[in-house]
Amino acid sequence: MDIPHQRLVYFQVTIEAGSVRQAAARLDIAPSAVSRQLTLIEAALGAPLLERSRNGVVPTAVGEMLLEYCRKRSALDDTFSEELDAYQRLETGHLSLTVGEGFVGDLVDAPLRTFTESYRGVRLDVNTGSTCEIIDAVVGDEAHIGLMYHERIHPKLRFWHSSRQPLVALMSPTHCLAGEKDALSLPVLSEYPLALWRTGHGVRQLVDDGFREAGLRHQVSMQTNSLSVLKHAARSELTLTLLPAFAAARELEDGLLVARNVDCERFRQAHAHIITRVGRRMPRAGLQLLRHLERWMRAFNSRTEVDINATHS
């Protein structure tokens, strides 16, 4: 049914007013204009819409059906306007993030908590994945936003924000290297057992590249796909691990781990990134969340070196 909205308004007002003349007065137009619009609707439907009664005009059976349609359409319009208004005030919506596991603690500890407190109607889906999985999710529009470590070039990625976050050596405060004040060299680290991500992980690739370029081999005593395992292994004093400091921020603050800089240019140039797909129009809530993550996440507060005194207990 292709009947202009304004024409339907004339019909509904006529029924509610009880006459064409009173409808015209409410609409501030000539009665002949209202009659003409009603005639056009009847022609489109092939049936009369109004009949006269003692109290004015009343709808025919077809008129009753059309009146019900008008009321439902009006209700839908009102509902849409209310939902759109709520959406624009960031009271409703849905956002999906795919992030590296190392970002989870940093993400949940404060940024997401404060964001959800401010925008309680916005639902967040947070998934973890490898660097490749993060890129695929963002490029394939499965995720609005991705958080990844160590750059991977891709023509469809927009690097919304990047922050240098060097790879550092994490270890127990009682580890024999914990008291070193200078940056640890790769030759020194090659003498100690390491707990590392499994081959194929972005951080593991960075570690492997750094040692290979230095002409050294590292001692991998443990490999895993779990950040929790890496941090527990480092706490045990049996091994140390290599991660960006933000991935163990809570353990560093609590004194369970200490971080030491590593004398490796490749490690120093590693970055954390907030990514979106090139050309994707972000919902308003998404833009607010992007700004929120930039402002509140440790991973995006640029720190080119670990403060040795602050992390050594």
pLDDT digits (tens, 9 = 90+) for 40-51: 999 999 999 998
User: pLDDT tens-digit profile of 263-295?
Assistant: 999 999 999 999 999 998 888 888 888 988 988
pLDDT-based confidence at residue 252 (cuts at 50, 70, 90):
very high
pTM for the full predicted model? 0.68
Q: Give dist(CA 145, CA 276) in Å, integer.
A: 5
Tokens at residue 251, please? Answer: 């353990």
Among 16, 11, 54, residue whose Cα is nearest residue 33:
11
Q: Give dist(CA 2, CA 168) in Å, integer.
A: 67
Residue % of the chain over a pLDDT of 90: 53
Q: Are 15 and 55 in contact (CB under 8 A)?
A: no
- The most confident of the ranges 48-57, 103-112, 214-223 is 214-223
pLDDT-based confidence at residue 76 (cuts at 50, 70, 90):
confident
Whether the per-residue pLDDT at 210 is higher than 50: the answer is: yes
> At 218, which amino acid appears?
H
Task: List residues bridging with 99 in a β-sheet.
Answer: 128, 147
- List Cβ neighbours of 3 (8 Å cut-off, separation of 6 or more): 41, 44
Burial class (CB in 10 A: 0-12, 13-18, 19+), 292: middle
